[in-house]
Amino acid sequence: MYRPYSRSSSTSSISSIENLPPRTLARVSKEVRDLMRSPPEGINLVVDNETGLPASLGEIVAEIEGPQGTPYEKRFFRLKLVLGAEFPTAPPRGFFLTKIYHPNVDMSTGAICVNTLKRDWSPETTFSYILSVIRCLLINPFPESSLNDEAGKLFMGSYDEYSKRASLMADVHGRPHSSNAMPEGDDESDGRTDSPTKRKSRMEPGMNPLASKNSNSISSSNGGGKLGSKQASGRRMSKKKSLKRL
């Protein structure tokens, strides 16, 4: 059975976002808006379906699509950036929430080792850039600074064996689809129980972007075109209001 990383062990020493000064909170809010409007390739910000906003500005949760040509392709992985009281003078800390086999990811905590969050950190570094760098890390690991020694040695000694093991773990723990196409109520830690039948039964009308055009066509053919248009307009207005709140 799948067990997610221990979240308490990775965040117990992190200060609350409430300790950040107003100027820093304003910056975080702006960067969140930018991520929602123009996310980097292969990256989506995870937000609450009810509010359309992140659950907390102190922990930026995102989803990364495995890059093509890597053991992680066709799978989706969640991670978070945890902000400390000294942000942005000090970098946030990055943790994968989805188990992943990678030289630069700690197998027990999900902690991510990348220079952007260490010696190369600059207070001007954006969340968008950090997430893009972490996605690139899935393409080009740095075994010289590995947190998973086994994966690092396997990567250097036999890439084929490393790729097989990483791909196996990705198939077991990674999502086969983006969480944007399913209700927030589904737990990211249990990919096996998330069957297509279960998703269909829990999906509310209009929540699946892949089915939105078909849903509008069906609504129009049944005489419900005006109602469908009003609902779509309401959703657009709700999203705009959510962005303004940040």
Which domains are present in the chain? 7-201 (3.10.110.10), 206-240 (no CATH)
Residue 246 CB-half CA count within 13 A: 23
Burial of 11 (0-12, 13-18, 19+ CB in 10 A): middle
What is the C-alpha separation between 91 and 97, in angstroms, rounded? Answer: 19
Model pTM?
0.69
For residues 180 and 42, the model is more confident at 42
Considering only 9-13, 45-49, 65-69, 236-240, which range has the smallest mean pLDDT? 9-13
Q: What is the mean pLDDT of residues 107-127?
A: 96
Active-site hit among 83, 112, 113, 166: 113
Q: What is the mean pLDDT of residues 33-39?
A: 93
For the record, the structure tokens of 240 come out as 């705009």
- Tell me the pLDDT of the chain averaged across its residues: 77
Q: Is the pLDDT of residue 155 over 60?
A: yes
Quick check: is 113 catalytic? yes
Q: Is the pLDDT of residue 208 over 50?
A: no
Kindly report whether the peptide bond that precedes residue 88 is cis, defined as omega within 30 degrees of 0.
Answer: yes
Q: Look up residue 43 and give its amino acid.
A: I
Q: What is the pLDDT of residue 17?
A: 56
Which residues, in sequence order, are CB contacts of 173 under 8 Å at separation 6+? 2, 98, 99, 100, 191
DSSP state at residue 118: T
What is the C-alpha separation between 5 and 182, in angstroms, rounded? Answer: 22
For the record, the structure tokens of 186 come out as 């589904």
Over residues 40-66, the pLDDT tens digits come to 999 999 988 888 888 888 899 999 999
